[in-house]
Amino acid sequence: MVTEDDVLAFFRKALPTLADLRLNSIPLEIDDALQEYAEPDDLLAAINQYDQHFHVDMSAMNWDRYFPWEKPWFFRRWFTRKPVVQTAKPLTVRMFAQSAKAGRWLFD
């Protein structure tokens, strides 16, 4: 049986690790938006590996529902407190874990 920890460990290994300004690693968490954490090319490669590793049917996943993702400019918070309005849904590791348990993509 696939657990959330298995899927989280998989994505932590498959995606490049982020670092802050002091070069401290920022670990991926279960509810982090993957679009914020990784570039689209890296994320697509990880999803393809996920499909093969966990034997999940990803044919129902509509990439257009999750992209484009607006990443805020680094200095934006110095000029405004308004959050960036996203037109796409966030992808999280939890979504992939639930889909791995079901054997198919559950969202869309």
Say what the pLDDT of residue 61 is. 94
Q: 31 or 75, which is more confident? A: 31
Angle, in degrees to the nearest 10, between helices 4-14 and 40-54? 140
At 61-96, the pLDDT tens digits run 998 899 875 666 656 566 676 776 667 899 999 999
| Percent over 70 (pLDDT), the chain | 86
Q: What is the pTM for the complete model shown?
A: 0.85
